[in-house]
Chains A and B, each alone.
Chain A
């Protein structure tokens, strides 16, 4: 009995001790703490990517607000995606975080994310500063839940013009037949026509299929899929796109180790001239600028995937904002809400966009001010190219995450001939219907 008493007293003492220490902590922190979780890392500042602009804006804002304590946690994108979902499930969301377009529906339905439509409407200068359609992927039921970050283009062809000239192509092919002919010639010369590092399984879909699919289906089909308006993945056009992609792989257009090379290793293969071209996104500008050997850098040119016979408009590239800055639905008092919204604006408007643009990053902010003599050469080429090019949706930025995972793993099998285009289309359609 005595022992029991003692243990109870000890337990009670421990509880009071921890409770009182919590109280002490609460009293001491008069500062407002804003927690941020992001996939942008301070270590990457200066190497391209949005990191440079984001941290420049964040630091400026923090300096101007000494009453605020920023508790920032950053990690790479793959880890970030796991972490934010776990925090959501644990009901422990950070105040400010990054939203991927395809998560919008799920995050809104779970109540993890704040509706910022009214804040944006109250500040038209901020809202109208972005490119047309910038908020689309973060809009659900007519309400806006995120401010766009980069405006990516994911399906650009980067080709080594010297190597293509050697096999007789002064310009990048403009039809699919010519492209297949070039593939044949490169193979004879022992050169890999296109390198793809599809180990993480998104490049085949995000960089290739989002644009190649559009060549066959046109963007009306894609919008119909996104909005659930009747189009299906088993439609003839989409199956034709998959077939074309598989035939390209069968013709030997890609490297042998397509599914075991990752999306960083693929760059090296292009840089050391083992491969003549790579299909990649706008983030690759800065990589070419900082890491490519001088001759490769000088020879690298931009092009769009060629047109296909009987297909849709060929002047398109998959792109648009894929990631957004968002605020969580955490309970906040008025002061904190105001501060968080102010910070949200500061890291997403010209304070961040101008810095980003001067390092060659295309943000969703429509008219950034920067010195175009210092940016990577490809950045200027890109701006020129985009004058005649329409942007079409990136699949993984706009479609349901479960469907995308099925598509991505399926494409790995498709490209090594393990599955037929029809089977893959059916699998994707099945997942699509489940999600509806």
Chain B
């Protein structure tokens, strides 16, 4: 009997300890989401006049070409970033954990440094780099005689998504490198020694040993990357403001513009709920793909 009472006591203690965090989380996350859902049922321009229109905003959202184009842009950016950020971070981590690299700590610090800068600063710095007249890229291209290659980098709607991804990838490589290196350090070094004795090359060791052993950490990194890129806003806002036209428009920026430029608060709330659902679906989908629950234990 005493045991059960004890367990109850522990549970109560856990609950009490979690309560403050839970309360704050509810207040800053759950309540606003419920609020946004309520607003999304109204035709509301921000003032006291709110007209209940049921699910009309959602009907409009389903047919809104611009919103789905923005969603597609988010997807493109996410795919480029998952491969760019995590892929390059994995290569760098593998290189840094090999014996041939000197000054490992310095490399680590330098690679992590961009993640500490504010997104707006990164956006501005890269707009200067992409500038047509005095930007670093064009200056170098012209200096080496490749005048034809110099172009207005942020002006071409066909390539703009790729171009805005460069700073994004650059900024977060270090962040994922830290996660991946932490995972790598937990691998028993004797495994590598054995592989080396068996004559496995560096690339083989990375792909056949490291990668499978840190699969869970990669999964977490992919999830973080997807979640981060579904809500991407500041870089794009600073570099292109969604332009030229709407070719680099992303969902969060569209919500911002719908709210504060077009003054359609109700419709923007419906968009936010749409983003929430789409993001949850994609993150959930990626978890399923990584964990593959339909595979049997012996397949691993």
Contacts and interface: CB of A to CB of B under 8 A. Distances in A.
B263 A106 contact: yes
B263 A410 contact: no
Contact of B157 (A91, A112, A416): A416
A412 interface: yes
A339 interface: no
Contact of A413 (B151, B244, B260): B244
A412 B248 CA distance: 12
B157 A405 contact: no
A204 B247 CA distance: 17
Contacts of B48: 91, 110-111
B152 interface: yes
A107 B152 CA distance: 40
A132 interface: no
Contacts of A200: 241
Contacts of B130: 260
A269 B133 contact: yes
B151 A256 contact: yes
Contacts of B73: none
14 contacts: A88-B47, A110-B47, A110-B48, A199-B240, A201-B241, A260-B243, A260-B244, A269-B133, A401-B262, A402-B262, A409-B242, A413-B246, A416-B157, A418-B247
Given A85-B46, A110-B46, A259 B243 contact: yes
Interface of B: 45-49, 127, 130-133, 151-155, 157, 240-247, 257, 259-265
A256 B147 CA distance: 14
A274 interface: yes
B131 A257 contact: yes
A259 B131 contact: no
Contact of B46 (A88, A405, A413, A416): A88
A110 B49 contact: yes
Contacts of A112: 47
A256 B46 contact: no
Residue with the highest number of chain B CB atoms closer than 10 Å, among A107, A258, A259, A402: A259
Nearest to B256: A82
Interface string A94-129: 000000000100110111100000000000000000
A260 B262 contact: no
A410 to B, nearest CB: 7
A35 interface: no
Interface residues of A, number: 36
Contacts of B49: 109-111
Contacts of B153: 260
A377 B108 CA distance: 58
Residue with the highest number of chain A CB atoms closer than 10 Å, among B157, B243, B246, B247: B243
Contact of A257 (B132, B242, B264): B132
Contacts of A111: 47-49
A199 B124 CA distance: 13
Contacts of B155: 256-260, 416
Give the top 6 A-B pairs by smallest Cβ distance, nearest first.
A110-B47, A413-B245, A257-B152, A260-B154, A257-B132, A259-B244
A77 B152 CA distance: 27
A419 B243 CA distance: 13
A402 B264 contact: yes
Contacts of A416: 155, 157, 244-245
A196 to B, nearest CB: 12
A412 B247 CA distance: 10
Contacts of A402: 261-264
A287 interface: no
A81 B244 contact: no
Contacts of B242: 409
Given A109-B47, A110-B49, A259-B155, A409 B262 contact: no
A89 interface: yes
A265 to B, nearest CB: 8
Interface in A187-214: 199-201
B265 A89 contact: yes
Contacts of B131: 257, 260
A81 B260 contact: yes
A410 B245 contact: yes
B152 A412 contact: no
A261 B152 CA distance: 9
Contacts of A410: 245
Contacts of A260: 127, 130-132, 152-155, 240, 243-244
A405 B260 CA distance: 11
A106 B245 CA distance: 26
